[in-house]
Structure 1
Amino acid sequence: MKHSGCTFEYERERNADLMRAYREAISECKVIHMPDIFRAVVNKASERFWVSEERAAIVISHIMRGGKLHNMRPLKQEMFREIHRRVMVLKEQNPDMSLNQLAFFAVRQKAPKFYLTPGSAKVIICKIKKAYKQRNHHLRHHQWRKQ
């Protein structure tokens, strides 16, 4: 199915959505306990399902042919089962649409959560924050040298 080393075309958008959820989670709690924050982040609703339309169509086609998702982690299985459920609802409403079209519309609907582990969210958020700090440091250093 998916190959190691694939790039994720919606990484920037997913990261922005994840940071939105992170900021919300922090603003909603009285005491900041990071494990609880990351658990809250991954369970917040997301702008969409963070998978490409093409990948979703491939996996949904596999499911529709009776294929199993044994080689996937439980959260990915859960995500694709939810996308499959939504594709079937859309197919009932739009029987003339192709699977690619149905997958396109299904993955762009709001997702009930991020389908990430709290540990994965922590790693991604830490990378985002580190890149932000490096960018700001570089900009400040660069501006100082010009003066």
Structure 2
Amino acid sequence: MAKYNGSKLECSEERINALMVEYDRCIMSCSVVRRHEIFKKIVNSPCSRFWVSGFRAAVVMAGIMRGDDLSGMRPLKREMFHEIYRRVLELQKRHPDYSLYRLACLAVLQPAPKFYMSPSSAKIMFYKAKKEWYRRKGLLRKYSH
């Protein structure tokens, strides 16, 4: 299991890398590329972790424990936090002495069933990161036209 160092920037870069890897995987598996379908497929693919900090997850978990139904959140974000909460409760059964923060950090580092973002958000992230991603892979000329 990966260690969490608390850096929002590191998490952001890690999420972009995961998104780009999944994009490449999807493109290679398609005979016909339809961008909108690709981004729908990407965001519903499993990923290595939940893309939220342990601190933020702990704050939201504390709110849920106090009765917050998260009705003010966007549906995908609410769904993600409910899944993290379910996992926190499972971890708490095995580690009753752990703090809520520690449980939340452990939960967010577990593999996530999907990215919990909209296809349009994934598309925006992809296009912002594409040039740098392909430059690092040595493929910039191939995709620059």
Name the counterpart of 2:3.
none
Q: What CA distance in whole angstroms lies between the structure 2 residues aligned with 1:133 and 1:23?
A: 11
Bigger shift: 68-77 or 80-89?
Answer: 68-77
- Report the AA paired with residue 93 of structure 2: E
Following TM superposition, by how much is the alpha carbon of 1:68 offset from its aligned partner in structure 2, in angstroms?
2.1
Q: Describe the superposition over 1:103-129 as per-residue Cα deviations: whole angstroms up to 9, x where unpaired.
A: 010000000000010000000000001
- Report the AA paired with residue 76 of structure 1: K
Bigger shift: 65-74 or 114-123?
Answer: 65-74
- Report the AA paired with residue 34 of structure 1: R
- Structure 1's consecutive aligned runs of 4 or more residues displaced over 2 angstroms after TM superposition are 130-136
Name the counterpart of 2:83.
82
Q: What CA distance in whole angstroms lies between the structure 2 residues aligned with 1:133 and 1:95?
A: 45
Match status 1:98 vs 2:134 = no
Name the counterpart of 1:140.
none
Q: What CA distance in whole angstroms lies between the structure 1 residues aligned with 2:71 and 2:131?
A: 35
Name the counterpart of 1:71.
72
Following TM superposition, by how much is the alpha carbon of 1:92 offset from its aligned partner in structure 2, in angstroms?
0.7
Aligned pair count reads: 131
Name the counterpart of 1:116.
117
Following TM superposition, by how much is the alpha carbon of 1:133 offset from its aligned partner in structure 2, in angstroms?
6.7
Which sections of structure 2, spanning at least 5 residues, go unmatched? 1-6, 138-145
| Secondary structure class of the residue paired with 2:103 | helix
Instruction: Tell which structure's C-alpha radius of gyration is larger.
Output: 1
Name the counterpart of 2:36.
35
| Secondary structure class of the residue paired with 1:96 | coil
